Amino acid sequence: MKYIGKKTHRLDGFALSRGRPVFTDDLHLPHMLYLKVLRSPHAHARIKSIDTTAAANIDGIVSILTWKDFPRHYFTSAGQGYPEPSPRDMLILDQTVRFVGDRVAVIAAESLEIAQAALERIQVEYELLPAILDPKASIANPTVIHPETGPVDIYAADRNIAAYFQSELGDVDRGFKESALILEGEYSTPYVQQAHLEPHITLTWLDANGRLVIRSSTQVPFHVRRIVSELLVIPVGQIQVIKPRIGGGFGGKQEILNEELCAAVTLKTGRPARIEMTREEEFYAARSRHPEIIKLKIGVDAEGLFRAVDLNILENCGAYAPHALTVMSVTAQKALSLYRCPNIRVEAQAVYTNLPIAGAYRGYGTPQGIFALEVLMDEIANELNIDPIDLRLRNCQEVGDEIPIAKVLGEGSEGFPIVLHSTGLKDCLEEGRRSVQWQEARQEVKTGPIRRGIGVAAAGHGTGIPGIDMGSAFLKMNEDASFNLLVGATDLGTGSDTALAQIAAEVLEVPVEKIVVYSSDTDFTPFDTGAYASSTTYISGGAVKKAAEKVKEQIFSQGKKLLGVDQAVIRDGFVEADSGERISYAEICTRSMYTDDQMQIMATASHMSYDSPPPFNATFAEVSVDTETGLVQVERIVSVTDAGQIINPPMAEGQVEGAIPQALGMALCEHMIFDEQGAPINTDFTGYHIYTAADMPEIVVKFHEGHEPTGPYGAKAVAEIPISAPAPAVVNAIYNACGVRIRKLPIQPEDILRGLAQLS
């Protein structure tokens, strides 16, 4: 292939490297209003009264909106396909606040300074309500967080259960009876923040025809349009959503957070409006990864082959439940899809607490489940005295295997049958084994205060949501043989615009520079569900490939017609007859538009798939443990990924290199801390430590060369798969180093010291 699998410069690289005004905040409009949100200081309270008089009298205050200004229309802020599987349990503004940071009022002012001053002048009288901060105590608690009758699709509001599912395949009890070894454990993961560099930011204005324009840093422009239309009761056709460049999303921008507030102010005042979340607000008022407590029980035979698995998930969704059902569905489905097992049981419940709202974060539930599974796998290997890699190899899925759990468990609903057409997990494990000199490293003598260890973990994910995700593309040809590619797919900074251009270029047999991409504008680009679920290359790329094939056929047909021949070939931007006579793409297009037939060479296509081919990953972690202080240093990470055909190697490497520090942060240092009243404590990058350049280990990125027959040119997902395995690999490496088994993240020095004390 000419362009697939080759290093290609990013289409937006020139603008980004030169600081061109490409982001949401780079546009400033005259007479723009600045918005600030008054947030609740209490974890759970009812607003008895709110007096905005003093604030409204400040010069420069244009509008103050409270719960009284909006109808009681319940919705979900999750940017998901319609009808959304998440409970509709939110109001734009509510008389009850359910976490520290919940929205109380919105101020629109001539400047940020004026808006900030007004915040301090609003008088609110609260009736304090009991707060639930422990998810384990939520279900049996007499306090009901959502007692009202308006919300839709809450599983059991009276017991604070937002979502619930259970499923069983085979005979689990019999499977355990047939097992030679049964091990179980409880594993927990914390609140962690996406920490994207660009905050949530939205601008709104009315165009010359009075239509609402929303320019927002969002992963889901079409979902924004639909939900704002519903909430503000204006037709979809009267809304345009523009997604410019994004400074990171990682799932946190798969949410409608501020667009409806900004739009409401613009519609009320007729003026442009702007809202930007502060870094502090990003921590407690945006979204984060769902904390989960997982109880996992596995039974194996004497050879280590799975006989039964029992998985129980308790998910803390916070005060509201966007993504609650679907995240824990993914936790279960991905963990239970990685290895062959004839008997599977799963029960999962998402519970409300009076803590910040959890949402989508890269991996979307998979890191929590893989953490539990891969740590317990190491425990089983240790008990059976089997090499941890060999144990995984014995239980791997094979090409042709059907994944049983996928049929009964999708994202919030019944799933679709998934048959593996490709799998490189065994190759990833073996390649990693060779790269790290596994046997020698594991058997290294552990002496002295600094102990070195090595660990492994495997992971699987998915490629799009089968039967749900859909992407579309429109492609037209220009007189100079360039092509305009319009896609609804959202480039989050991942380079997906470039990857889609490569797919089009490969089909059309033209240089990538000939493909001009315009994406994510609801007025001009066709529909796409959005950038999430690792779907863009596979789903949107499938649509691009279809559209490009249609355009190529038109070029070929027109070329033969203009040459007056029945047989020809396409070669190097020409349609060439057997006689050697040829006509260029440029001439074909020009004559087609101006002289012959007078037609525009163009095509549209949509793509949806009932397949969701899993990519796979094996991660190897080398660590050193200071047995005197409990400090853990990650020395090296070797990540080997099967993502099918890699479309753009440097961008794929960047995906892995970006996922690893996020995973190591969750493993070793990242977690949101709350006081006894539910108020967040660490709301900046001093108190909340993300991995920086100073913390980074050596990273080795490798790819297994595979081919997924259902994907465009053999591609499947790469964006999320590298994030799940590093944390359990580190935990397993710590055990190899010093014998301490960790089951709770993040790993604290005192956990290591406590474990060492128990060993002595």
In degrees to the nearest 10, what's the CA dihedral of 541, 546, 550, 551? 0
Pick the CATH number of 292-465+611-759 from 3.30.9.100, 2.40.50.140, 2.40.30.10, 3.30.365.10: 3.30.365.10
Cis peptide before 83 (omega within 30 of 0): yes
State the pLDDT at residue 410: 84
In percent, the amount of the chain with pLDDT more than 90 equals 94
Q: pLDDT class for 695, splitting at 50, 70, 90?
A: very high
State the pLDDT at residue 493: 87
Backbone angles phi, psi at 596, to 5 degrees: -95, 120
Roughly how many angstroms between the first and final C-alpha of the chain, as a whole number? 60
Say whether domain 24-129+200-276 belongs to CATH 3.40.50.720. no
State the pLDDT at residue 412: 75
Q: Which residues in the chain are classed under CATH 3.30.365.10?
A: 292-465+611-759, 470-608
State the pLDDT at residue 596: 83
Q: pLDDT class for 445, splitting at 50, 70, 90?
A: confident
Going by C-alpha positions, the residue among 339, 459, 457, 461 that lies closest to residue 404 is 339
* pLDDT per position as a tens digit, 523-576: 999 999 999 989 999 999 999 999 999 999 999 999 999 999 999 999 999 999
Going by C-alpha positions, the residue among 50, 48, 37, 62 that lies closest to residue 119 is 37
Here the tokens at position 218 are 């969002």
Mean pLDDT of 249-265: 97
**pLDDT at residue 413 greater than cutoff 80:** no
- In CATH, the number for domain 470-608 is 3.30.365.10
Beta-strand relationship, 470-477 and 602-608:
antiparallel
Mean pLDDT of 606-615: 96
Q: From CA 117, how far away is CA 61, in angstroms rounded?
A: 10
In percent, the amount of the chain with pLDDT more than 70 equals 100
Q: From CA 599, how far away is CA 589, in angstroms rounded?
A: 9
Q: Which residues in the chain are classed under CATH 3.90.1170.50?
A: 24-129+200-276
State the pLDDT at residue 331: 98
Residue 445 vs residue 30, higher pLDDT: 30
* pLDDT per position as a tens digit, 642-666: 999 999 999 999 999 999 999 999 9
State the pLDDT at residue 533: 85
Mean pLDDT of 182-195: 98
* pLDDT per position as a tens digit, 511-533: 999 999 999 999 999 999 999 98
**pLDDT at residue 263 greater than cutoff 80:** yes
**pLDDT at residue 168 greater than cutoff 90:** yes
Strand ranges for 644-725 from DSSP E:
698-703
Here the tokens at position 549 are 């094939």
* pLDDT per position as a tens digit, 622-634: 999 999 999 999 9
Q: pLDDT class for 415, splitting at 50, 70, 90?
A: confident
State the pLDDT at residue 504: 98
Q: pLDDT class for 282, splitting at 50, 70, 90?
A: very high
* pLDDT per position as a tens digit, 292-330: 999 999 999 999 999 999 999 999 999 999 999 999 999
pTM: 0.96
**pLDDT at residue 757 greater than cutoff 90:** yes
State the pLDDT at residue 99: 98
**Residue 130 contacts residue 46 (beta carbons within 8 Å):** no
Mean pLDDT of 565-593: 96
* pLDDT per position as a tens digit, 324-377: 999 999 999 999 999 999 999 999 999 999 999 999 999 999 999 999 999 999
* pLDDT per position as a tens digit, 31-74: 999 999 999 999 999 999 999 999 999 999 999 999 999 999 99
State the pLDDT at residue 619: 98
Within 82-171, where are the H helices?
A: 112-119
**pLDDT at residue 507 greater than cutoff 90:** yes
Mean pLDDT of 264-275: 98
State the pLDDT at residue 760: 83
